[in-house]
Amino acid sequence: MCPNNIGVFVMRDDTQIQIERLLKEIEVQKAINTFQQHALKAETSDALLKGVVEIFPHLTFLGALDKGAVFLMDDQAQELVMVAHRNLSEAQLRRCNRVSLGHCLCGRAALTGQIQFSSEVDERHEIRFEDMHPHGHFNVPILVDGRMRGVIVIYLRHQGGWDPEGVGFLEVAATIVAGALKRLTFEKALHIREEMLRQVIANAPCGIVAVRHDGTIEIFNAAAQQMFGFDQEEIRGRKIIDLIPFPLRNFSQDIMRCCIDTNTVHILGQTPFEAEAMRKDGSVFPIRLAINRMEDIHDVSFIAMILDMSSEKLLFDEVVQLERTIIEYAPFGILVTDNHEKIVLFNSESEELFGYLREEVIGKPVSSLIPQGMRWFYSYDLQNHASGIKARKSGAESEAVRKDGSHFPVRLAVNRIVMHGQPSFVGMIADISDEKRLYSELVQSEKMAGLGSMVAGVAHEINTPVGIGITATSELEERASKFRQLVHDEGISEEELEEFMDSTFRLSSLIRFNLERAADLVRSFKSVAVDQSSDQLRTFKLRTYVESAVLTLHHELRHTKLVVAVVCPENLVIRSHPGAFSQIVLNLINNSRIHAFDPDQSGHISMEFVVEGDHLLFTYRDNGKGMSEEIRSHIFDPFFTTRRDLGGSGLGMHIVYNLATQTLGGNISCQSAPGSGMTIRIDMPLRR
C-alpha cells in the first residue's frame, strides 16, 4: 500500500507545479496584452515610456519593486538620457540623469545590446550614493531595426533570481516598446511631412489645383483663389472645366478623358506649357501650366501648378523692347550671325565702324567684315577654357575690313546664343585703332625712358675711369716736367732714373686700364642703345651681346648684392632682333631688382640659353621673394604693377611678353610661388 500512496502524492505535486506554471503563463500573457494595448494607444513617445514604468511594478511574477526608469539614446553624445521614471530619489535622479555607454549596468546593456541582470548592488553599480537600499536590477535594451534606442531599468527585490520565463517576457516587452517607438517616430515624421505639404500648398506663390478622377476640384490654394477670383467654398466640388475658356472646353475634356482612360499624362507632359484660363468674371488670361498625375488609395487625380503670365507677358514685351534699344544704341558694334555665319543683326554702331548700311550686309557672310569669321574666336575661347588657360584679355584682337577696303584693328568678344530656336553667334566689336596708337607711343616712351636711364648710368660709370685717367695723366705730366728739369740743370742719379721709369710705367698702365674700361662701356652702350632704337635683323654672337647688355646695368647693380650669371655657348651666332634680346634682358633684371629683392638682400640671377633642334630656349631665374598666384596671373598685363610707389608703369613685363611672342615669334611662360623665386621661359624659333 505504501508505494501506491507515494505515487499518488507525487502526481499531486506535479499537478500543482503545472497549475502554477499555467497560472504564471496566463499572467505573463496578460502582461504582454497590457503592453500591446498600451503601445497601440500611446500617441507620443513620452506617453508610451511613462506608461511603461507604470506597468512593471504590477507584474508580481517578476518580483519588481514599485520603481523604475526608461532611458533613450543620445547618439551625438553617446549617452543614455533618462526620459521617464517612477519613485526614484532625488539623488538617483541627479546622479543617473545621463549615463555614458559601457558604464554601470544600464550603460553596459546599451553598449552590448543584451539584458544585464544583478541580484544585488555589486561592483558593477558604478553610480552609488548614501541611503541606497539593497535591490536587484533588470536592464533591458530597446533595439529598433538593430539600432540601440534606449534601456528599460526594472528594480527587483534584493536577491531576486534569474527567471528564464521572466527574461523571455522582458525581451517580448522590449520588442513591443521598440515597435511602438518605430511607429510613433514614423507617424511623427509623416505628420511633419503632411503639415509641411499643407503649408507649401497653402503658401505657394503659384496656383495649385488638385482634381479628382471625375474632374471635380479637391484642392484650390490661396494663390489659385486670388488668380481666378473664386473662394474655397464656392469652387470646391465644381468641375475643373469651369476654369477653361469656352472655345477650349471640348478639347480639354477629350484630353482629360484620354489621360484617365490610358492611365497616363504623356499627352500633357510634365514640362510647363502655356495655355489660357478663365476667371470667375469670364475674363481670359494667359497661364503657364504644369500637370502631374497622383495616385492614392481611394482615387486617381491630377495636380496642376499654374502661373498667371499676364504681368510676365507685359514685362517680356518691355524687356524685348529694352534689349532692342540697348543693342541699337550700344557704344560698340554688335553683330549676330546664324550657325552658318550669315549676318542676321547689325546695329547702328556697326554701321559706323564698317561703313555699311545694315541692308547691305544682312544675309551676307561675316567673313566679308572679319576675315577669320566669328566661330573661330568662340572655338578659341572654348579651347582656352578646356585647357585651363586663363585669357589675359576679355576679348581677342583681330583685323576687320571696312566697306572702302581699309583694314583696322578691333577687339572682338564672341558668345554662342540661341535665337528663334537656332544656334547663333553674337559678337561685340570695338575699334582699337586709337588704343593701338596710344599703346605704341607708351611702349616707345617706356623704351626711351629705359634708354635714358641707361645713358645716365653709363655716363656715371664712364666718369670714374675717365676721371682716374685724367688724374694719372696730370701726375705723369708733372713727373716728366721735373725729370726734364733734373736732366738739364743738375743731372740725375741712377736711383732717380729708376724711380722715374717705375712711376711712368705704373701711371701709363693705370691710364691704359681705365681708358680700356671706358671704351668697353662705350662699346657695350653703343651696341645695345643702337639695337634698342631699331628692330632690324642682324647676325650677332648671343653670349657677347647679352653680357654687353648686362654690363650697361652695372651702375644699378653695383649698389646691390645681386650676382648675375650668363650661361650660353661661347660661339653661338644667331640672326635675330638683338634689340629685342637686350630689352628683354634689361626689363627682366630690373623687374627682379625692384620686386624680388630688398635693397640689402643678397640674390642670384641666372640666364641660360640652350639650343634644342631649331629652337632657342631662354630660361631666366631669380631666387627672390616670388609672387602669389593672383599676381603671377597678371604679370604680363599692361599697366599692372605692385610698385607704383616707386614709379613703376606696369609696362616692363608687358613689353617682354610682346617682344617674346611677336618680335621673336616665340612662347613665354612664368612660374612662381611665394618664397620660391621666379622662372621665365621663352621658347623661340632659331635663326642661325
Q: Is residue 1 part of a domain?
A: no
* The total number of structural domains that make up the chain: 5
Q: What count of other Cβ atoms lies within 10 Å of the Cβ of residue 627? A: 22
What is residue 502's predicted lDDT score, i.e. its pLDDT? 75
**9 pLDDT band (50/70/90 cuts)?**
very low
Are residue 339 and residue 478 in the same domain, yes or no?
Answer: no
Verify that 395 and 523 share a domain, yes or no.
Answer: no
My answer on whether 42 and 159 are in the same domain is yes
Among 167-181, 331-345, 495-509, 614-628, name the most confident range. Answer: 614-628
Residue 292 in grid coordinates: 502631374
Rounded mean pLDDT, 282-294: 82
Q: Does 559 share its domain with 675? A: yes
In a domain, residue 452? The reply is yes
Residue 683 CB partners (closer than 8 Å, separation 6+): 615, 616, 617, 618, 666, 667, 668
Which of 429, 448, 479 is the last residue before a domain boundary? 429
232: domain CATH number is 3.30.450.20
Q: Is the same domain home to 32 and 156?
A: yes
Structure-model confidence comparison of residues 529 and 426, the more confident one: 426
Task: Examine the pLDDT at 622 and tell me if it is beyond 80.
Answer: yes
- Which residues, in sequence order, are bridge partners of residue 586? none
Instruction: Return the exposure string of 430-441: e unless at least 16 CB atoms fall within 10 Å of the residue's CB, then b.
Output: bbbeeeeeebee
Q: Please tell me the distance from the alpha carbon of residue 547 to that of residue 489, in angstroms, as a whole number.
A: 54
With respect to residue 13, please indicate whether it lies within any of the assigned structural domains. no
**Gap between the Cα atoms of 611 and 479, Å rounded:** 56
* 217-272 confidence digits (pLDDT tens): 888 888 888 889 998 888 888 888 888 887 767 656 655 655 555 554 444 444 67
Of 286, 313, 340, the one marking the end of a domain is 313
Whether residue 609 has pLDDT greater than 90: yes
What distance in Å separates the CA atoms of residue 477 and residue 460, rounded to the nearest whole number? 26
- 523 and 538 inside one domain: no
Q: What is the CATH number of the domain that holds 96?
A: 3.30.450.40
Q: What is the 3-state secondary structure (H, E, C) of 443-459?
A: HHHHHHHHHHHHHHHHH
**How would residue 617 be classed by pLDDT, with cut points 50, 70 and 90?**
very high
* Rounded average pLDDT over 499-512: 75
* Residue 86, in any domain of the structure: yes
pLDDT in tens, 102-158: 888 899 998 999 999 888 888 888 777 776 778 888 899 999 988 999 999 988 887
On whether both 610 and 520 belong to a single domain, the answer is no
**Which of 641, 646, 586, 585 is closest to 451 using CA atoms?**
586
d(C-alpha 147, C-alpha 71), whole Å: 14
Domain annotation covers residue 308: yes
pLDDT for the residue numbered 520? 62
Whether 2 has a pLDDT exceeding 50, the answer reads no
Name the grid cell of 439: 599703346
CATH (domain of 583): 3.30.565.10
Q: Give the pLDDT confidence score for residue 606 in this predicted structure.
A: 93
Q: Is 364's pLDDT higher than 80?
A: yes
Structural contact between residues 677 and 623, judged by C-beta atoms closer than 8 angstroms: yes
Instruction: Tell me which range, 206-210, 296-300, 379-383, 416-420, is most confidently predicted by mean pLDDT.
Output: 206-210
Mean pLDDT lowest among 29-33, 69-73, 226-230, 511-515? 511-515
Residue 14 lies in a domain: no
Please indicate, yes or no, whether residues 415 and 356 belong to a single structural domain of this protein. Answer: yes
| Residues 517, 646 within the same domain | no
Whether the pLDDT of residue 457 is over 70: the answer is: no
Task: Compute the average pLDDT of residues 193-210.
Answer: 82
Q: At which of 370, 404, 429 does a domain end?
A: 429
Sorting pLDDT into bands at 50, 70 and 90, what band is 404? very high
Angle 22-26-30 (CA atoms, 0-180°, nearest 5)?
A: 170
- Domain of 106 in residue numbering reads as 24-188
**DSSP-derived secondary structure letter, 239:** B
Confidence of residue 522 (pLDDT cuts 50, 70, 90): low
pLDDT category of residue 330 using cuts at 50, 70 and 90 = confident
- The answer to whether residue 653 sits within a structural domain is yes
pLDDT tens digits, residue range 379-402? 555 555 444 443 334 467 888 999
581 lies in the same domain as 676: yes
By mean pLDDT, which of 75-89, 219-233, 466-480 is the weakest?
466-480
Has residue 494 got a pLDDT over 80?
no
Q: Are 77 and 99 in contact (CB under 8 A)?
A: no
CA neighbor of 333 nearest in space, from 367, 369, 365, 360: 369
- Cα separations (Å) of 343 from 79, 97, 359, 366, 525? 73, 80, 10, 6, 55
pTM over 0.75: no
Q: Which of 264-268, 433-437, 506-510 has the least mean pLDDT?
A: 264-268
Do residues 49 and 130 both lie within one domain?
Answer: yes
Tell me, yes or no, whether 424 and 436 share the same domain. Answer: no
**Dihedral (CA of 87, 90, 94, 96) sign:** negative
Q: How far apart are CA 101 and CA 107, in angstroms?
A: 4
Cα 341 from Cα 361, distance rounded (Å): 12
Residues near 114 by Cβ (< 8 Å), separated by ≥ 6?
141
Q: Which residue has the higher pLDDT, 268 or 501?
A: 501
- The pLDDT > 70 percentage for the chain reads 78
Does residue 251 belong to any structural domain of this protein?
A: yes
